[in-house]
Chains A and B, each alone.
Chain A
Amino acid sequence: ELKVEQNPLFLSMQEGKNYTIYCNYSTTSDRLYWYRQDPGKSLESLFVLLSNGAVKQEGRLMASLDTKARLSTLHITAAVHDLSATYFCAVVHSGGGADGLTFGKGTHLIIQP
């Protein structure tokens, strides 16, 4: 059974600081997705990582994928309050799409002014 673990589950940080969220998964996969969820809202797609070594950046967020280590990171640079949200990583089994995405529990991020 595919397991996806995120670390940390809760993070409070100050504006202007840098931090990294980690996503580990238990079985082979070559596709990983990052989503953002605001309170009471649905999930917004942030990044789609489709191969080993993939790196995507959007504004202050950068995501990377290491399929050999079964690890993805979401790096936040010079955090701003608007980035406060819950961030989920999700993985699909290699061979893809058969069972939908398996999500981690999410990282609840609070950025304080």
Chain B
Amino acid sequence: DTGVSQDPRHKITKRGQNVTFRCDPISEHNRLYWYRQTLGQGPEFLTYFQNEAQLEKSRLLSDRFSAERPKGSFSTLEIQRTEQGDSAMYLCASSLWPNTGELFFGEGSRLTVL
């Protein structure tokens, strides 16, 4: 297994468009997390799944943000009606729970909203 993969790595879009990011976790990991990171800041927790169940979504930034993990494997993060303030790096991580709780991060998807 090559680790957590994310696609696309870079996305440039115009304000008002919808964007979707995909994350493929490490295959045996049952938990999958989405974070957002802006320049000069630490990653900010958005949501997470255990298998296909979304266990925490109150930290999603607005109702324009949604995430799915329909079969408990890959996940998607969708942002509707993008705004310039959505420009950031969106990081996906996975972990094996219960275990140490250590998260393994993907390379991230960088979003630029014009």
Assuming the contacts A42-B106, A88-B42, A106-B42, asked whether A98 and B101 have C-beta atoms less than 8 A apart, the reply is no
- Give 5 A-B pairs besides A43-B93, A88-B43, A99-B48 with Cβ atoms closer than 8 angstroms: A42-B108, A90-B42, A90-B43, A99-B45, A100-B103
Q: How far apart sit A4 and B42, CA to CA, in the bound complex (Å)?
A: 10
B103 near A106 (CB under 8 angstroms)?
A: no
A101 near B103 (CB under 8 angstroms)?
A: yes
Q: How far apart sit A5 and B42, CA to CA, in the bound complex (Å)?
A: 11
Nearest A residue to B41 by beta-carbon distance? A105
- Size band of the A side of the interface? 20 to 34
B105 near A42 (CB under 8 angstroms)?
A: yes
A43 near B43 (CB under 8 angstroms)?
A: yes
The 8 A-B pairs with the shortest beta carbon distances in the complex, nearest first, are A103-B42, A100-B45, A43-B105, A42-B105, A42-B107, A48-B100, A48-B102, A103-B43
Can you give 5 A-B contacts (C-beta < 8 A)? Answer: A35-B105, A100-B33, A100-B35, A104-B42, A105-B41
B91 near A42 (CB under 8 angstroms)?
A: yes
- Size band of the B side of the interface? 20 to 34
With a cutoff of 8 Å between Cβ atoms, the chain A residues found around residue B33 in the complex are: 100
With a cutoff of 8 Å between Cβ atoms, the chain A residues found around residue B104 in the complex are: 45
Interface string of A19-47 (1 = CB under 8 A from B): 00000000000010101000001111100
Interface string of A81-113 (1 = CB under 8 A from B): 000000010101000111111111110000000
For the complex, is A11 an interface residue (Cβ under 8 Å from B)? no
Assuming the contacts A100-B45, A103-B42, A104-B42, asked whether A43 and B91 have C-beta atoms less than 8 A apart, the reply is yes
A41 near B107 (CB under 8 angstroms)?
A: yes
A101 near B45 (CB under 8 angstroms)?
A: yes
Nearest A residue to B89 by beta-carbon distance? A42
For the complex, is B59 an interface residue (Cβ under 8 Å from A)? yes
Q: How far apart sit A101 and B101, CA to CA, in the bound complex (Å)?
A: 9
